[in-house]
Copies of this chain bind each other. A is one copy, B any other.
Amino acid sequence: MIPSPYLLYLGHSRDPLGVKTSRGVAEFRREDCLGEFRHDDCPLTLGLPRLGMEEAAAGGARTLILGIAGAGGQVGTDLIDDAATALKAGLNVASGLHERLRDQPRLAELANARGLSLFDVRDPPAGLTVGKGYPRPGRRLLTVGTDCSVGKMYATLALTRGLRERGVAADFRATGQTGILIAGEGIAVDAVVADFISGAIERLAPARDDDGWDLIEGQGSLFHPSFAGVSLGLLHGAQPEALVLCHEPGRAHMRGIPGRPLPDLVDCLERNLEAARLNSPEVRAVGICLNTSAMDPETAPRFCAVVEAQMELPCTDPVRFGADSVIDHLLCFEPSASSTIASR
């Protein structure tokens, strides 16, 4: 486990989506966060005290969380310099980037010399195999999206919490670095060997027979030219009984691809259902989760109502309005005949 309290890194970031890992940890592990580290040119904040590395260490912080990410997860020289400063101040360093901290000789030497640890949370577990798609018992929900970074993890966490509040056994299954840092476990599906995408998810959410739910965090989008392969393998490995479609209204283009429009909600949901039927013939959509954080308080609920009418499914912003309507719809269905058979 990664020792807390944490110092959350924002660095030089100017893009709110680029700091989503630090933001997620700040929101869902608030009690474990001592402060945030940012340079003077960073206009973003998580609402935590701004601390230097030495200052944070003196205040009791144990680990710097490098919670920033560009597409592809490269490690820049700024990041390495700052990670080195953190180690010199006595902090462990954790990262969810594709490039591994341990592969940076300067960081590896510093950590070794000072008895500190480097945590690369994107490391896949050993011994992954290909997925098989055989029917397996258990109830599983997957969040899918029109794009990357539209709120799939938030929705999944909100649904998990909502189910637990109703006394239903429910587990969040993390598939990305932020989710793993929040949950303390999971598999970063975009970092596994391509052959093992669906197999990794079959391992992450194996057969269960307690009538509880696995709520699996989706990644990317079937419509994203960078990541659709990951999204499809994840969809097949999840073998979901239920899908929740996630979307951020008003986004100008697909994340990282200027000029590329987002898909239509109806098309996106239909394509996901069609692809899911390969392993889950009875899959159904149970709701739409929007990230309305950019909308004013009057517009957001009206927009949800419009989408709800258009899609004929409950629609909410789970962060703003809770996830009850989606959970109601999820629980009003009994398991389908085929999943009951599969679970015997």
Contacts and interface: CB of A to CB of B under 8 A. Distances in A.
Interface of A: 71-74, 98, 129-134, 189-199, 222-223, 225-234, 236, 256-257, 260, 275, 278-279
Given A195-B226, A222-B232, A230-B233, 5 more contacts: A189-B194, A194-B229, A194-B233, A198-B229, A229-B233
A225 B191 contact: no
A236 B232 contact: no
B130 A72 contact: yes
A93 to B, nearest CB: 21
A65 B222 CA distance: 37
Contact of A130 (B192, B226, B232, B233): B226
A194 B227 CA distance: 8
Nearest to A128: B72
Contacts of A256: 130, 132
Number of copies: 2
Contacts of A129: 72, 74
Contacts of A257: 132-134
Contact of A232 (B71, B193, B232): B232
Contact of A190 (B194, B236, B278): B194
Nearest to A199: B226
Contact of A226 (B131, B222, B227, B260): B131
B260 A133 contact: yes
A19 B236 CA distance: 28
A225 B195 contact: no
A50 to B, nearest CB: 32
Contacts of A232: 222, 228-229, 232
